[in-house]
């Protein structure tokens, strides 16, 4: 899919070029105050605020492209981890300050979201009356919105990028967003970001919420309405937030919650261990699971969980033998499942799960890039075959190259048969995933 000139580039050169393109596209979705989103059928005019992160800056109305003009807690936290990588690897102090400024804006915007009040929103907004009567069926009930305060806000999957409450029906609640946001803040501090009062407040808010909601059933990362369950992805990023959070000192912010903190970690570890299927020798993405084969238990979200959690070693880390077994099973499944992989000699393009029908259930850029990054991380572990893991990571990057058009645009997914891009165009998560994989590769090669 890349042009003749790009075909002449070796993989190193193409990754360098695509990483620059991806960073620029990712930044375009952060604080996109130059954009205006009008949803005429709902009487909405949305102008993004500073610090918001658009899941996609493309204006679409489910005709057929999805409307992703929202600030998702999950997506935004993952994207800001990419922004932290850009800050860490900046080639000048000016560039470093620019990315640090994006992160500071994100923290302030996130704090403003936590201070919203559903009842006050209803008093000031007549969103139902403003909507076309034919479209009111897509709106939430007033009582549901009225209850949005405190923890209820933390369990919201997304907000409008102007900092207002999302009034549309969607799968709720979701408990991975605060954990992922805490992990982004912790990574920011790790690479030299300042512990401002705002960062400390947001970290305290998110870690305390994660401690109290550790292991509870909720909607998973794919936001399927019928999957209010125990999700491996949610449990692992919650555990990671608590584990990594212990290394960060914010005065006495753990304080008297120390025992509850330990109990939350222990409960999460027990819950995650229950996801292991002794019969099928893989980790189940969702528990309890329906009866079926090992293929029915697999989900690309598992790879994202290991990646986003970033546990350094031990169970549920990239070095865990059970994790490697599950990753191999996922790769083998999609190598068989997707026609685009059947003639592919290298690494397969990876999707979500068996029976996925969302926009045809194709291969996702973030998942395929996660497989690449996990291999690059393993290349940095003592005692592992560094060259073999870098080679495997490069094989996944070569697959992404095969599926990337001339201009470097990255969508949400590609068609499982044709390899043509589908679903949301310019998915910010895809660009962040490429940036992070490219930086992990550089560390594996030169670190």
C-alpha atoms less than 13 angstroms from C-alpha of 216 in its C-beta half-sphere: 13
First to last CA, the chain: 32
- Which residues make beta-bridge pairs with 287? 230
**C-alpha separations of 43 from 39, 67, 121, 167, 410 in Å:** 6, 15, 16, 12, 30
- pLDDT confidence of residue 155: 97
User: pLDDT grade, residue 383 (50/70/90)?
Assistant: confident
- Per the domain annotation, does 426 fall within a domain? no
Give how many domains the chain has, as a whole number: 1
- Per the domain annotation, does 62 fall within a domain? no
> In angstroms, rounded to a whole number, what is the distance separating the alpha carbons of residues 327 and 335?
12
- pLDDT confidence of residue 289: 83
Mean pLDDT, to the nearest integer, of 293-305? Answer: 96
Task: Quickly list DSSP for 7-62.
Answer: HTS-HHHHHHHHHHHHHHHHHHTBT-TT--EEEGGGTEEE-PPTT-B-S------S
- Which residues make beta-bridge pairs with 165? 159
- Per the domain annotation, does 236 fall within a domain? no
What lies within 8 Å, CB to CB, of 83 at 6+ separation is: 26, 27, 30, 99, 102, 103, 106, 432
- Per the domain annotation, does 186 fall within a domain? no
* Host domain of residue 138: 36-54+67-163
- Answer yes or no: are the C-beta atoms of 20 and 389 closer than 8 Å: no
User: pLDDT grade, residue 4 (50/70/90)?
Assistant: very low
Question: Please, where are the H alpha helices in 37-193?
Answer: 73-88, 93-114, 118-124, 127-130, 142-146, 151-154, 177-190
Beta carbons within 10 angstroms of residue 99's beta carbon? 24
- Checking if the pLDDT of 378 tops 50, the result is yes
| pLDDT cut 70: percent of the chain above it | 96
- Checking if the pLDDT of 46 tops 60, the result is yes
- Per the domain annotation, does 115 fall within a domain? yes
- pLDDT confidence of residue 224: 94
Q: Of 148, 154, 136, which Cα lies nearest the Cα of 210?
A: 154
Q: Which helix (H) or strand (E) holds 326?
A: helix 321-337
- Per the domain annotation, does 342 fall within a domain? no
- Per the domain annotation, does 422 fall within a domain? no
- Per the domain annotation, does 199 fall within a domain? no
DSSP 8-state code for residue 294: H
What lies within 8 Å, CB to CB, of 17 at 6+ separation is: 6, 9, 408
Q: How far is CA 281 from the centre of its chain?
A: 26
């Amino acid at each position: 899919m890349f042009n003749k000139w790009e075909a002449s580039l070796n993989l190193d050169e193409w990754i360098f070029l695509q990483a620059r393109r991806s960073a620029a596209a990712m930044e375009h979705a952060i604080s996109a105050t130059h954009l205006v989103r009008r949803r005429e059928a709902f009487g909405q005019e949305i102008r993004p605020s500073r610090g918001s992160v658009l899941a996609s800056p493309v204006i679409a109305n489910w005709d057929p492209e999805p409307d992703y003009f929202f600030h998702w807690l999950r997506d935004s936290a993952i994207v800001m981890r990419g922004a932290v990588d850009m800050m860490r690897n900046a080639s000048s102090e000016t560039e470093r300050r620019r990315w640090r400024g994006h992160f500071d804006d994100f923290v302030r915007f996130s704090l403003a979201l936590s201070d919203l009040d559903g009842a006050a929103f209803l008093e000031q907004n007549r969103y139902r009356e403003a909507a076309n009567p034919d479209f009111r069926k897509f709106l939430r009930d007033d009582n549901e919105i009225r209850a949005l305060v405190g923890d209820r806000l933390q369990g919201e999957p997304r907000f409008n990028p102007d900092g207002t409450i999302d009034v549309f029906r969607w799968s709720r609640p979701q408990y991975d967003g605060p954990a992922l946001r805490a992990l982004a803040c912790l990574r920011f501090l790790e690479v030299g970001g300042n512990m401002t009062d705002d960062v400390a407040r947001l970290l305290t808010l998110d870690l305390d919420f994660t401690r109290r909601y550790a292991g509870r059933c909720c909607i998973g990362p794919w936001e399927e309405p019928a999957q209010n369950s125990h999700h491996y992805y949610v449990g692992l990023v919650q555990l990671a937030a608590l584990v990594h959070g212990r290394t960060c000192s914010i005065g006495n912010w753990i304080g008297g919650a120390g025992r509850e903190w330990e109990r939350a970690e222990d409960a999460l570890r027990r819950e995650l261990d229950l996801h292991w299927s002794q019969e099928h020798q893989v980790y189940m993405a969702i528990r309890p699971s329906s009866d079926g084969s090992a293929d029915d238990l697999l989900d690309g979200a598992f790879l994202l969980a290991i990646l986003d959690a970033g546990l350094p070693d031990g169970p549920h880390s990239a070095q865990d033998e059970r994790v490697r077994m599950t990753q191999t099973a996922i790769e083998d499944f999609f190598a068989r499942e997707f026609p685009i992989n059947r003639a592919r000699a290298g690494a397969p393009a990876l999707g979500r799960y068996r029976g996925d029908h969302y926009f045809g259930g194709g291969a996702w850029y973030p998942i395929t890039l996660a497989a690449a990054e996990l291999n690059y991380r393993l290349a940095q572990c003592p005692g592992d075959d560094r060259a073999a893991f870098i080679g495997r990571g490069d094989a996944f990057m070569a697959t992404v190259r095969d599926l990337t058009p001339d201009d470097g645009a990255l969508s949400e997914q590609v068609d499982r048969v044709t390899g043509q891009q589908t679903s949301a165009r310019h998915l910010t998560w895809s660009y962040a995933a490429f940036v992070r994989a490219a930086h992990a590769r550089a560390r594996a090669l030169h670190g």
